[in-house]
């Protein structure tokens, strides 16, 4: 890319310099597009752009008023936060059924969002007056257990993993030390969690 091309793109020049400026009597080339003086065609056809020189396009931009020609009601409507979003959003059912998440009308082909939402829906109710914490969820995931696991299932899984990863139990193989540390850390978290405290 040449310096001239880079300079031209920075300033928004799109003309090749062969057109004359649309302002009568201006000898400069029209290198910048501006909308027509009298609005867009009502038949929906593309606008007939005016080509202006740098000075005249600057003057046009400085004097541009988006609200010119609008009534006070139209100006108010254009300034509302949801202007341009006149389409009503999908109403969720309020008859006691699960309405789904706010983003349910988005396409999620890999189920990246839906899977996370489903995991939260499957979360067990409060136990011992406590909810399952994020740290508890991570610990359960580290042990390969579902959120509805109980203390017995946790102890059983912990024993299985210790037998698998501990060098004293697996013939002296020390390649699983990090996995063993994760297992012990996860079990410690769950053992001390108020959610799993025995009542």
Which of 51-55, 104-108, 148-152, 166-170 bottoms out in mean pLDDT, i.e. has the lowest? Answer: 104-108
First and final C-alpha spacing in the chain = 73
pTM attached to this predicted model? 0.39
Q: What number is the average pLDDT over the span 135-147?
A: 89
33, pLDDT greater than 90: no
Which pLDDT score is estimated for 119? Answer: 58
Residue 56: CB partners within 8 Å, gap ≥ 6? 21, 22, 23, 26, 28
The encoded tokens of residue 66 equal: 């988006």
To which residue do tokens 């009597």 refer? 25
Which pLDDT score is estimated for 185? Answer: 92
82, pLDDT greater than 70: no
Percent of the chain with pLDDT over 90: 13
Strongest mean pLDDT among 8-12, 171-175, 186-190:
186-190
73, pLDDT greater than 80: yes
Strongest mean pLDDT among 82-91, 119-128, 150-159, 167-176:
150-159
CA distance linking residue 159 with residue 157, whole number of Å: 5
Which pLDDT score is estimated for 31? Answer: 87
Residue 147, Cβ density class (10 Å: 0-12 exposed, 13-18 middle, ≥19 buried): middle
Residue 89 or residue 62, greater confidence: 62
Strongest mean pLDDT among 40-49, 55-64, 71-80:
55-64
């Amino acid at each position: 890319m040449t310096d001239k091309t880079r300079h031209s793109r920075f300033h928004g020049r799109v003309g090749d310099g062969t057109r004359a400026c649309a302002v009568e009597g201006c000898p400069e080339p029209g290198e910048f597009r501006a909308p027509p003086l009298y609005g867009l065609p009502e038949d929906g056809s593309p606008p007939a752009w005016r080509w202006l020189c740098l000075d005249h396009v600057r003057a046009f931009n400085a004097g541009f008023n988006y609200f010119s020609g609008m009534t006070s009601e139209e100006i108010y409507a254009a300034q509302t936060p949801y202007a341009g979003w006149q389409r009503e959003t999908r109403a969720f059912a309020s008859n006691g059924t699960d309405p789904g998440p706010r983003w349910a009308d988005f396409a999620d082909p890999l189920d990246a969002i839906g899977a996370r939402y489903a995991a939260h829906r499957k979360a067990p109710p409060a136990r011992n007056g406590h909810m399952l914490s994020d740290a508890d969820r991570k610990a359960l995931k580290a042990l390969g257990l579902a959120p509805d696991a109980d203390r017995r299932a946790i102890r059983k899984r912990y024993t299985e993993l210790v037998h698998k990863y501990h060098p004293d139990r697996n013939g002296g193989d020390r390649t699983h030390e990090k996995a063993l540390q994760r297992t012990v850390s996860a079990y410690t978290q769950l053992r001390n969690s108020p959610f799993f405290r025995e009542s």
